[in-house]
Structure 1
Amino acid sequence: MRPLRILALVSLLAVGLAGCKGGDGEAQAKPGDPPKPPDAVPVEVTKAAHRPVAASYTGTAALEPSGEAQVVAKTSGVALSVMVEEGQQVRAGQALVRLDPDRARLAVAQASAQMHKLENNYSRARQLVTQQMISANDVDQIKFDLENARAQHRMATLELSYTTVIAPISGVIASRSIKTGNFVQINTPIFRIVDNSKLEATLNVPEREIATLRAGQPVQLTADALPGQNFTGIVDRIAPVVDAGSGTFRVVTTFAGGGLLQPGMFGRIKIDYDKRADALVIPRAALLDDDSDPAVFAVRAGKAARVSIKLGYMDGEWVEVRQGLKAGDGVVTAGKIALRDGTPVEVIGQPVAKPATAKVEAAAPGKKQ
């Protein structure tokens, strides 16, 4: 029984192998069938169109206040009153701190007494010199002493005025390093005031741009701290000298302060120096990665065609085409990496154009073709 069972299994296996071979033969293309066309590559397409574009220079810089001052104590003393806080707006000449004035007042009183004494002596000496009771040299010495006493009095009065610390510029208190009751040493910084009414951003621009930028041109700024918001300003001044070491020149742009923009913010700055109202443009994403030969893939008759173009201005996500395309030409913006010149494409969102195929009819036996 065992030999018969083995023989039956071998027979079944042989039949199965023969069936597999027959199936493979059916799957293979017949010699008379036309070759299968290559699959179309799905792509996204945008049409070239007319729109305004601007030629611009872009750079990055930090915002700085137009004016800044470190307020220092010009005399020593105990702070009796601190009258401003951080973030407070102040005016030039406004009192910020009052120091203990007692010592300075005593110095003024002493200098005043000495000055009045010498004034009386000088007045009497002038009368005596006419009576030849005092020499002219003695009168001159008294006059010199009087002028010196007057200078000492003015110095003491100035020291007294220093006991009231005033703001040298208008602006906002950016920092404070003093409290009521502190002893303040002379020439010690106690406040920092910034004038944020106008903010500046300085760009170091390559020398090739020196002929395109000028004072008064409009400027656009976007700040990292304020996403989605744009701020306008102008080119305030341009340095007339190019730095030999870096090959750049300084361009100072200004923006209105007192609002959302604050000193120290980092911003991206765009200076438009020329505009074209009706330029033929395509998305920058359509450009192929070849800087020496700018080109795009245009869609023509359902296939990709590599087209060399001449570029003009680049404005954000758009690039101007000066030569090589016309309005309405479709260019591939997504799917470029899989394309070659002549590759069939399927534009996403449009029906697929099916290529026509020739029918081959089988001839009946004995019938002429």
Structure 2
Amino acid sequence: MRSTFCSFRARFALRLAIVAFAFGILAACKGGDGAADEEKQVDTSVPVEAVAASRRSISASYSGTATLEPESEAEVAAKISGVLLKLLVEEGDQVQKGQVLARLDDENPRLNLAKAKATLKKLENDYQRSSEMFERKLLSVEQNDKIRYDLETQRATYDLAQLELSYTNIVAPISGVISRRMVKVGNYIQVNQALFKIENFEPLLAVLSVPERELNTLRTGQVVRMRVDSIAGKTFEGAIQRISPVVDPATGTFRVTCEFHDETGQLKSGMFGRLEITFAQHDDVLTIPRTALIEEDGETAVFVVVSGAEAAAAEKKDGESAGTAEASAGKSNDDKKSGADKSDPETKEAPIPEWVAKRRLIKIGYGDNEYVEVLGGLDEGARVITVGRSAVRDGTAIQVLEGVQ
């Protein structure tokens, strides 16, 4: 009997130890969860970068791209056939209108000219004698006129032979730069065969296809600034030369031709240019970076950095301004919840974050590639989120990175 009682007490003590151990594990787990929750609450702050709204000058402009092309260009073609004997220019050479670029074999045209000259001289002598005989009435009118017509025909033949001889000198029809040579010395050149291409780089043109909505904002003579990829760090200034009065119905655009005079000779035909036409400017206006804008549902908004205490005070004030009828209707339920909260020792308020993001509607005006003008909804100095705004919502706790103004 005594042995049975001792066995019972041993089993009872073992059970108590197990229960105590279990409660200890639960308490430890609960405490650990609380620490994890607290740590998790801190880590939920979203890191962002913010920039303060500041005052600056801003311009309204249109930007586009175009390929540079010459004002005038020409392909130099042969007007007579023959072997190319000499090249006098090369690609890249600057030439003037009328300058000799190459020479063809002139032996045959020179012989034709000599033959035509000899025949012309003979007919001139014949006509002189014919005229003397006609005055003496020794020659009829018909005979005298025939010799005169033959003389006039030979004079035309002689002029043509002179012209063909001149065609053996290939001359430049316009001033410009030799952009391409298409023949070599010794080639047999056919009539109308292209030998050179000349482009006049003064000025160079850039033709933009501009949307119809800009038709009333662009004017002839407005300043155009251009950057080209191959010449880094330099901006070239030009002007609008002409604007087409017709809108292409297929594309909804109109042509704007801009001209550039480059005395340095750095600009070349075919270069890809990025153009900007400024048509208005506002000075000393409130601006923010374009990267801060949120445009959706026809509205423009930004996320502003607000202190957590300020946001909590604003929310509390909004809660206190709720209607009296609504507060009365929910009074009994609030009392019950309050009692339940007071009775629960684990219930406590969430910590207030240092910074939160608040969505704010704004009105914008002019804008360029980097900044936009703020017409309303934002005060000077207010910090707007520029990096990380896609990861936040209204009221999200944020961490503003140090060193970002």
State whether structure 2 residue 141 is matched by structure 1 residue 173. Answer: no
Q: One-letter code of the match for 1:233? A: G
Q: Which segments of 5 or more consecutive residues in structure 2 lack a partner in the other structure? A: 1-10, 35-40, 311-354
Equivalence for 2:243:
238
- What residue in structure 2 maps to residue 296 of structure 1? 302
Question: What CA deviation, in whole Å up to 9, does each residue of 1:67-88 have, x standing for no partner?
Answer: 2111111111122211111112
CA spacing shift, 1:338–1:100, aligned 2, 3 Å: closer
**1:319 and 2:372 correspond:** yes
Distance change >3 Å, CA 291–CA 254, structure 1 → 2: farther
Out of 193, 208, 211, which is 1:206 matched to?
Answer: 211
Higher helix share: 2
Number of residue-to-residue matches in the alignment: 338
Secondary structure (helix, strand or coil) at the match of 1:337 reads helix
Which residue in 1 is equivalent to 2:282?
276
**Using the alignment, how far apart are the partners of 2:237 and 2:159 within structure 1?**
50
Secondary structure of 1:294 counterpart: strand
Change (3 A) 1:26 1:299: closer
**Cα deviation 1:272-301 (Å, max 9, x = unaligned):** 111112221100011014261011112233
Is the counterpart of residue 44 in structure 1 residue 49 in structure 2? yes
Query: Alpha-carbon deviation of 1:202?
Result: 0.5
**Alpha-carbon distance, 1:177 to partner:** 2.0
In structure 1, list runs of 5 or more residues that go unmatched: 1-6, 30-35, 352-369
Q: Tell me whether 1:184 sits opposite 2:237 in the alignment.
A: no
Residue 256 in 1 paired to residue 309 in 2?
Answer: no
In structure 1, the residue matched to 2:143 is 138
Match among 131, 152, 157 for residue 147 of structure 1: 152
RMSD: 2.5
Percent identity at matched positions?
A: 45
Residue 20 (str. 1) matches residue 73 (str. 2): no
- Which amino acid in structure 2 is aligned with residue 319 of structure 1? V
* 1:138 Cα offset (Å): 2.1
The CA distance in 1 between the partners of 2:25 and 2:221, in whole Å, is 83
Q: Which residue of 1 aligns with 2:315?
A: none
Structure 2 counterparts to residues 39-188 of structure 1, below 5 A = 39-188=44-193
Residue matched to 2:232: 227
123-132 or 95-104, which deviates more: 123-132
Secondary structure at 2:299 match in 1: coil
Q: 1:209 offset after TM fit, Å?
A: 0.9
Any idea what SS the aligned residue of 2:68 has? strand
TM-score (ref. length: structure 1): 0.84
Runs (4+) off by over 6 Å: 10-15
> For 1:307, which of 334, 354, 360 is the aligned residue?
360
Deviations 1:67-117 (A, max 9, x none): 211111111112221111111222211111111111111111111122222
Q: TM-score, normalised by structure 2?
A: 0.77
Shift in alpha-carbon separation, 1:217–1:242, aligned structure 2, 3 A = same
**Range with greater deviation from structure 2 (103-112 or 296-305):** 296-305
Displacement of 1:210? 1.3
Distance 1:271 1:108 in 2: 59
- The DSSP-based 3-state class of the residue aligned with 1:222 is strand
How far off is 1:342 after superposition? 2.6
Q: Distance in 2 between matches of 1:101 and 1:142?
A: 31
Residues 38, 344 of structure 1: 8 Å contact kept: no
SS at match of 1:110: helix
Q: Deviations over 1:20-39 (max 9, x none)?
A: 1232344566xxxxxx8995
Rounded Cα–Cα distance in structure 2 between residues aligned with 1:256 and 1:291: 45
How far did 1:244 drift?
2.6
Give the distance between the partners of 2:278 and 2:192, measured in 1 at CA.
46
Identify the residue that residue 384 of structure 2 maps to in structure 1: 331
How far off its partner does 1:197 sit? 2.8
Verify the 8 A CA contact 1:237 1:252 in the aligned structure 2. yes
Cα distance per residue 1:161-193 (max 9 Å; x no partner): 011111111222111122222221221111111
**2:175 alignment partner AA:** S
Taking the aligned partners of 1:205 and 1:304, their CA distance within structure 2 comes to: 39
Post-superposition offset of 1:60: 0.9
Deviates more, 1:14-23 or 1:231-240: 14-23
How far off is 1:17 after superposition? 3.6
2-side partners of 1:206 and 1:327: how far apart?
34
Choose 126-135 or 265-274, whichever is displaced more. 126-135
Where 2:120 maps in the other structure, the secondary structure is: helix
Counterpart secondary structure, 2:196 = strand
Return the alpha-carbon distance in structure 1 between the equivalents of residues 291 and 129 of structure 2: 97
* Equivalent pair of 1:205/1:249 in contact (CA under 8 Å): yes
User: In structure 2, what is the Cα distance between the partners aligned to 1:246 and 1:338?
Assistant: 38
Change (3 A) 1:182 1:38: closer
Paired with 1:280 and 1:51, the residues of 2 have a C-alpha distance of 7
Match 1:287 to one of 278, 284, 293: 293
